[in-house]
Amino acid sequence: MEMKIKDSVYGVEEVNEPVLVELIKSQPMQRLKSVSQMGIPDKYHSIKNFSRYEHSVGVMILLKKLGANEKEQIAGLLHDISHTAFSHLIDWVIGKVGGDENFQDEQHKNFMNSKTLSKVLRKYKFNPEEIFNYKRFGLLERPIPMLCADRVDYSLREFPKQEARFCINNLLVLDNKIVFKNKKAAKLFALNYLSIQENHWGGFEAIARYFIFANLFILGVL
């Protein structure tokens, strides 16, 4: 069992592990193709969106390239499996506006224990309880400002392609931590990351869009 994935950041990648192929083809993973990473539809956003599916598969590919074991690759593939249709926008609707974006984390275990996913995982001798706590995997998740596959992937998807690929080619793992091989790549990543944070994720327009859309949901307009 194998499949080829054509990714906008990593290029063509072959996936040969049966458990990964089966999980990618599963309905819960395929659902993520319709879930936008940024939560707000493209026509209301200033930049082109990408899906939670693209990001999740990308995290798995990056972990594979970095030599992560199969369990961590699975955790990376499934780390966003519980996202709702509007991603983190839902946190602004049901929680405190601008507060912690943790609704997805609260639902993650239920998704991991769903019949479809747990059946596939147990078929290949993986315990869903071990996979669902994805923050225990050191390459997949680390707090800012450290590098992790999750943060690196969604950042690279907004970099100019040539710069993204330069950063990828200069990543390595040291003491179970993702680091850069040289200062040039580290500086390039840092400058791009800070630019996106200032001009997109934490920018006035992005926050205003979330605020407006959240209130439209609350008022029942959408």
Q: Phi/psi at 212 (nearest 5 deg)?
A: -65, -50
Helices H / strands E in the chain, number of each: 12, 4
Chain segment 114-137, per-residue pLDDT in tens: 778 999 999 999 998 888 887 789
Mean pLDDT within 37-45:
71
CATH topology for the 3-33+47-218 domain: Hypothetical protein af1432 (1.10.3210)
Chain segment 58-108, per-residue pLDDT in tens: 999 999 999 999 999 999 999 988 777 765 666 655 665 554 556 555 566
Q: What is the pTM of this model?
A: 0.86
Count CB atoms within 10 A of the CB of residue 158.
Answer: 19
Of 32, 34, 51, 27, the residue nearest 114 (C-alpha): 27
Percent of the chain with pLDDT over 90: 56
Buried b (16+ CB within 10 A) or exposed e, 21-58: ebbbebebbeebeebbbbbbeeeebeeebbbbbbbbbb
Domain boundaries, the chain: 3-33+47-218
Which amino acid, 138? G
